[in-house]
Amino acid sequence: MKKIHFVAFIALAMLVSVFTGCKSKTPAPVSERIAKVWTASKVDENSSTVFTRGATTNVRNYASYKLDLSAAPTVKYTEFDGNTFTGQYTVPSDTRLVLSNLNPQPTGTNGTIEFNIELVDDNNLKLTRTTASQKTGNTTNVYTLTNP
């Protein structure tokens, strides 16, 4: 009889340890996960790849492109041509990033640029601009960014 109680106790203890030790980790909110400095690793304009980091046949040089979200809510946005804009950013949902009050105002933006967040993990951020960029010939751009 004592053996049955002992086995039942061990089984119960193992079951409790499994349930208490296997809690899933809740990922940090997107707004926290993107709060880094991002640089371009690949850029598509109207579905055509125009830049891949390290490639020698790039159509456009996005090597200086930088999206600095490291000091929320301040953003420092550097376009491919080296022009830098400062303003604020918000993440109204897990799938949207809004840069606003950009100064000076990037061409054709009224100081606001919006992106759809396609993917985010510790080292990668994929954004699709929601409006065409006048600077790149009215193309819709997809930015695959990495955290250096």
Going from N- to C-terminal start, the domains of the chain cover 30-146
Provide the pLDDT for residue 26. 84
Name 129's Cβ contacts closer than 8 Å, sequence gap at least 6: 113, 114, 115, 140, 141, 142, 143
Q: How far is CA 24 from CA 6, 27, 31, 80, in A?
A: 30, 9, 20, 40
Hey, is 73 helix, strand or coil? coil
pLDDT tier, 8 (very low <50, low <70, confident <90, very high otherwise): low
Identify the pLDDT of residue 148: 72
Amino acid at 101: N
Lowest mean pLDDT among 16-20, 105-109, 125-129, 143-147: 16-20
Cα distance between residue 134 and residue 128, in whole Å: 15
CATH code given to domain 30-146: 2.40.128.280
Q: What angle do CA 93, 65, 87 make, to 5 degrees?
A: 50
Least confident of 18-22, 53-57, 81-85, 144-148: 18-22
Question: Would you say residue 23 has pLDDT above 80?
Answer: no
- In order of 37, 55, 78, 127, 135, the CA distances from 81 in angstroms are 18, 18, 8, 19, 9
